[in-house]
Amino acid sequence: MYAADNLGDALRVTKRYLHALGVAGYLKLGLLILLIGGLGLLYQVFNIPAELAMQGVGDTDTLAIVAVVAASLLLVFLLLRYLAAILEFVYVESLRSEEMHLRRYVRANLKNGLLLLAFRIALWIVVGGLFVALVAAVVLGGDVGAPDDLTAGQLGALLLAGFVFGVVGWIVSVLTNAFVVPTMLHEGRGPISGWRRVAGSMGPNWTGLLAFLLVGFVLGAAIVFLYAGIYFAAFFFGIFLFAILLVLALAIHEALGIVVLVVLLLGYLLFEYAFSLLETPIRTYVRYYALLLLGDTDDSLDLIPEQRQAVRAPTGAATGGTGPQPGPAASGQPVGSGSPGFTTGAGEGSATGSGTDTGPTARSEEEPDDPDETAVWGDSPSWGSDASWDVAADGNDRSHPDDGDDSSDQEFDTDVPRTDPDDADTDTDDETDDWGPGR
């Protein structure tokens, strides 16, 4: 149900991740992808035909040498597979943190890599064992003494069974790398426990799993075709160049042939590394697609909440949205300046209108906070716009404090309290209580 939406989100998260790594981080990531793929080197070694490998083997000493060489190659192969298993966790950790610290992440996942390697070996032993058992049943049940004795039906059944077992093994391996490895890293589980956890969470969202497998298959096929085309062109170019260099080296000295072989090996590794740099964005996209799908299905298994929020945040969130606007005190606007939507709490009176003054809350917006200014403004005729400030109820002008009419002043003071310089601090405190903090 999240498969379609995650296609675009995975692309945006991938761009964000690669941009965060920079050039140096991208080169490290290419090396990581190369090592996860096993360098592609030992697969070529183990694909040597058995007849060619056994040529010249006849005596005991030669058999011992061959056994030692085979054991050494197997040990190197297992070490590379162990390193590849560790780097699976390093890859997920880098996707989660958007950083690349190879040594730190490797040291933290030595145990996880060993558990994953054991699971992979057990998986292929089970799959391979089932296929061998099926072949043995066909051979023994059909009285087949040689491959030429197989009928078309038997051969077709074996090929179909091999294809089915291969697909099952591929699906289990892909789902393990995409969902179980992140779960193991996130919750500290083993492979079996991780599979149970993923099966319980992803089981209801089987359509999402199918969509992921489809995306992985399509992009994987694209990588294979791209690799095949580049490899085909590079193979013929490399063979032609190698032949020329080998002839020239042997013409100079026989020992230079070893140098040419070393150069050939380095050239092959450089080719594999260059191709890993090309496929890195595709593999990263597939991994992020899986992490987004996993987090959408189960919130507790969300390894990339920050990246998810960043690519799915609404447009307004980046610019502040349409949330509550700051009040006058926060925005620097004077309190009571008459801004829209602001209430001064003046009751029925108005700061600038005519009528009876209801207290400090009805004063003008221009009322100063300074006590000295308050004393001056209290004796000034321009304190308010209403004439009642200057003319008392008996009709006498009270705009000048030096008129000498004490009784009239008392009457004026009774109507409207005047500000006395000695009470400036008290008036200021009252204003603060009525108007609220933030003036």
Per-residue pLDDT tens digits for 181-208: 999 999 999 999 999 999 988 878 788 8
pLDDT at 147: 66
CA distances from 148 to 47, 160, 162 (A): 23, 18, 18
Give, in order, the Cα–Cα distances in Å from 193 to each of 86, 178, 199, 214, 373. Answer: 18, 15, 10, 26, 77
For 23-57, letters b (16+ CB in 10 Å) and e give: eebbebbbbbbbbbbebbbeeeeeeeeeeeeeeee
What count of other Cβ atoms lies within 10 Å of the Cβ of residue 310? 15
Question: Beta-carbon neighbour count of residue 211 at 10 Å?
Answer: 19
For residue 100, which of 16, 160, 26 has the smallest C-alpha distance?
26
Output the CA torsion sign for 334, 337, 338, 343: positive
CA 49 vs CA 45, 53, 235, 255, 265: distances in Å: 9, 6, 20, 28, 20
Q: 345, 434 in Cβ contact below 8 A? A: yes
Q: Which amino acid is it at 254? A: E
**370: DSSP letter:** S
* 412-415, Cβ contacts within 8 angstroms, sequence gap of 24 or more: 415/388
| pLDDT at site 398 | 47
pLDDT of 44 reads 45
Side chain identity, residue 176: T
Check residue 59 and give its pLDDT.
57
> What pLDDT sits at residue 135?
82
Q: How many CB atoms lie within 10 A of CB 9?
A: 20
pTM (two decimals): 0.64
| d(C-alpha 396, C-alpha 419), whole Å | 20
End-to-end CA distance of the chain: 54
Q: Are 209 and 175 in contact (CB under 8 A)?
A: yes
Say how many CA atoms lie within 13 Å of 51 toward its Cβ.
0
Only one residue has tokens 């497998």, namely 213
Q: In which residue are the tokens 């191709």 written?
A: 275
User: What H or E segment, with its residue span, contains residue 315?
Assistant: helix 315-318
Residue 6, CA distances (Å) to 220, 296, 302, 402 in order:
18, 9, 14, 83
Kindly tell me the burial class for residue 94, based on how many C-beta atoms sit within 10 Å of its own C-beta (0-12, 13-18, 19 or more): buried
Alpha-helix residue ranges (DSSP H) falling in 253-339: 256-297, 305-312, 315-318, 328-331
Q: Which two tokens stand for residue 142?
A: 């059909």
432: amino acid identity, one letter: T
Beta bridge partners of 87: none
Q: Which parts of the chain register pLDDT below 70?
A: 1-3, 38-60, 142-149, 314-439
Q: What tokens appear for 196 in the block? A: 């149970």
CA angle 314, 319, 322 (to 5 degrees): 75
Give the model's pLDDT for residue 41: 47
d(CA 349, CA 363): 9
304's tokens: 């990339």
